[in-house]
A and B are shown apart, each in its own frame.
Chain A
Amino acid sequence: MDSFGGRDKVKSPKFGVVVFPGSNCDHDTYYVLKKIFDLDVIFLWHKQSSLEDCDVIILPGGFSYGDYLRTGAIARFSPIMNEVINFANKGGYVLGICNGFQILLEAGLLPGIMIKNESLNFVCKDIYLKTGNNETVFTKGINGKTTLKVPIAHGEGNYFADEKTLKELEDNNQIVFRYSERDGSITDSANPNGSVNNIAGIINKSGNILGMMPHPERSSDSVLGKTDGSLIFRSLVNNIFN
């Protein structure tokens, strides 16, 4: 258990993990925050209209509403999303993982869209991530690490945006994670799904909404043999009130 040493527990953020019909990484995320980090975390049912004073909202991975129509398209209109959007627009911290990222895109909280993987296959494997911006609350703690080894598991993670949007993302340093080789080089062979510019995760301009396809919650417990994902949660906890 990692309880953040001398940190005053009262000042630790409260996490809310939203559960949509079809979410399947909700319990993994809850487990990591509760059992690995010893943090205050609750589940938020998608029909709720209150975020119950959470400081960080996590939209977990899964297949909300069976991925029907488009991934995330129906979950985006779940009752709780009105609150999540208000919260995010007021500067609240929101992390969308995999399907959660897709929901953030459909909700317009982040720009761009997700299309089917170039290979047409569902891809489930460990990949390496190069951090492109170490100044966000989600990534400050990653400083010094060349790449993160984190698993992906998705059929539609092929990120696409028009040139104008891409330029904005680049200019504002919003591309937080790119698929890379182990040494950090950005190559086509390191791109598992055809994402434009190897994009794996982006943040909004204000720096409070992060969407990422890889699963940090699946690489946070040392029992699983990899813990790089925990750096993202740790960074959030250490920097959110600073």
Chain B
Amino acid sequence: MFKAKVLIKRRKTILDPQGKAVEIGAKHLGLINIKNTRIDKYIEFNVDTKSKKAAEDEVNDYCKKLLANPIMEDYEFTLSEWTPSEEEIK
């Protein structure tokens, strides 16, 4: 089994309204040096395959078809060997 950690980033050229709104909060707080706030998505999950290659293929599929919108987002991920905790098995 593998643990996948996926980071999905909106392309720099595409407006990030959430980042912009949050940065207004920073200004109100007096944090005037904060610039270009971008809010991305970090997603974690387990992939129950034997080979790393099979896990990679499935994560790519998941990202392309569901987690990310390839028109406006890029994604990257890492995979590491993982023994699920008892809680995760439940």
Contacts and interface: CB of A to CB of B under 8 A. Distances in A.
B28 A65 contact: no
B29 A65 contact: no
A68 interface: yes
Contacts of A79: 28
A78 interface: yes
A68 B24 CA distance: 11
Contacts of B18: 66, 68-69
A19 to B, nearest CB: 15
Contacts of A73: 25
Interface size range of chain A in the complex: 10 to 19
A77 B21 contact: no
Interface string A65-96: 11011000110111100000000000000000
Interface in B20-42: 21-22, 24-25, 28-29, 39
Interface in A41-86: 65-66, 68-69, 73-74, 76-79
B84 interface: no
Q: For chain B, what secondary structure do more than half of its interface residues adopt (helix, strand, loop), or is it mixed?
A: helix
A74 B17 contact: no
B71 to A, nearest CB: 22
A76 B24 CA distance: 11
A68 B25 CA distance: 11
Interface string B43-84: 000000000000000000000000000000000000000000
A78 B28 contact: yes
A79 B30 CA distance: 11
Contact of A77 (B17, B28, B39): B28
A67 to B, nearest CB: 9
Contacts of B29: 77
Contacts of A77: 25, 28-29
A77 B27 CA distance: 9
Contacts of A69: 18, 21-22, 25, 39
B25 A66 contact: no
Nearest to A47: B28
Nearest to A77: B28
Contacts of A68: 17-18, 21-22, 39
Interface of A: 65-66, 68-69, 73-74, 76-79
Closest 9 CB pairs of A and B: A74-B25, A77-B28, A68-B18, A68-B21, A65-B21, A77-B25, A69-B22, A77-B29, A66-B21
Given A68-B39, A69-B18, 14 more contacts: A65-B21, A66-B17, A66-B18, A66-B21, A68-B18, A69-B21, A69-B39, A74-B22, A74-B24, A76-B25, A77-B25, A77-B28, A78-B28, A79-B28
